[in-house]
Amino acid sequence: MDQHVSPFNPRESHTDTVESRCDPWNKGKLPGQKPPLKPKEIWAILIRLQLGHRLRDLARFNLAIDSKLRGCDLVGLRVHDLVQGSRVAARAIVMQKKTQRPVQFEITEQTRDAVGARIVGFWVDSIGLDPAAYGTHSMRRTKPTLIYRRDPEPAGRAAPARAHQARKHRSLSRHRGR
């Protein structure tokens, strides 16, 4: 006699009743190819992500559009896949899990900004600052600010500024007749 006999019906095995009660995996789902998003739908999603300061989702959404990667490859992306040195790369190459083939894609400026903002947001949040107040341009402005604070008029910038002031003074003198 079968050892998985159902208590309700001795002729039916336990595994048969469990399987017969389960819904198919695709029940209620739209079969076949899914339609692409329309431009207005893309912009609506982008705006909501930006207004919600959801930098990680914004970066991933932009990467999904740029790269055309499958979901499993998209969520597997790491910062080092997209960064060259200290900058987000203009292009990236990712090995697809399903096909084991490399895919090269362009990373648009909008996506580079989103990825960079995600990274910067993580850094500033780690020291207790508000990530919404900082972005990739914060990083661009940091080095010049440090240089300026150290030396308000470095020799390289002072000479052209003084030369400009001298030319301006000579020009005014000529107009005044001096």
Per-residue pLDDT of the chain (178 residues; tens, 9 = 90+): 445 554 555 555 555 555 567 888 878 877 777 788 899 999 999 999 999 988 888 988 999 999 988 888 888 888 889 988 878 899 999 999 999 999 999 999 988 888 888 888 877 887 888 877 777 666 667 767 777 777 766 555 555 555 555 555 555 445 555 5
Query: Does residue 8 sit within a domain?
Result: no
CA nearest neighbour of 89 among 99, 97, 78, 75: 78
Question: What pTM, to 2 d.p., does this model score?
Answer: 0.57
9 domain-assigned: no
Q: Is residue 19 part of a domain?
A: no
- Look at residue 94 and give its three-state secondary structure: strand
Q: Residue 73 falls within a domain, yes or no?
A: yes
What is d(CA 84, CA 158) in angstroms, rounded to the nearest whole number? 34
Asked whether 129 and 120 are in contact (CB, 8 A), the reply is: no
Assigned domain for 76 exists = yes
Does residue 65 lie within any of the structural domains?
yes
Quickly tell me which residue has 């030319």 as its tokens. Answer: 167
d(C-alpha 49, C-alpha 71), whole Å: 19
In 85-178, alpha helices (H): 109-126, 136-150, 155-176
- Is the distance from CB of 104 to CB of 92 less than 8 angstroms? yes
Q: Classify residue 97: in a domain, yes or no.
A: yes
User: 27 lies in a domain?
Assistant: no
Q: What pLDDT, on a 0 to 100 scale, did the predictor assign at position 100?
A: 94
Domain holding 50, by residue range, is 39-134
Cα–Cα distance measured from residue 103 to residue 142, given in angstroms and rounded to the nearest whole number: 35
Quote the tokens at residue 11: 């002729």
Q: What is the pLDDT of residue 167?
A: 57
* Overall domain count for the chain: 1
pLDDT at position 101: 94
